Amino acid sequence: MTLPGYILQVILPLLSCGVVVAFIRLLRGPTLPDRVVALDLMATLIIAISAAYSVVTDQPAYLDAAIVLALITFLGTVAFAYYLNRRIPHV
């Protein structure tokens, strides 16, 4: 089996299942931090899907989109951590 075939038949379905499970966690998360972590996991899985698809199609533009999404996700995570730090009073 070649690498593109392995990615299409094994890797992409597993990553897609991970996105579905993370989405369920996003819907059922009892607290805001649970939902933010699930959203961050979904973004990470979408970045991995984009990178795998880039290898299959031999299109480096998908990697550029993955890098931009990773930077935006990182900024969102930092902003949420700052929000939690401001919301919780220090002892």
Over residues 50-77, the pLDDT tens digits come to: 999 999 999 999 999 999 999 999 999 9
Identify whether the C-beta of residue 69 lies closer than 8 Å to the C-beta of residue 36. no
In the chain the beta strands, taken as DSSP E runs, fall at: none
Instruction: List, for residues 19-47, the tens digit of each pLDDT value.
Output: 999 999 999 989 888 999 999 999 999 99
Q: Quick one: pLDDT at residue 23?
A: 97
Q: What is the pLDDT of residue 89?
A: 72
Q: What share of the chain is helix, strand, coil (3-state, %, to 5)?
A: 85, 0, 15
- pLDDT, the chain, mean: 92
Question: What value, to the nearest 5°, has the Cα angle with vertex 41 and ends 48 and 16?
Answer: 50
CB neighbourhood size of 74 (10 A): 12
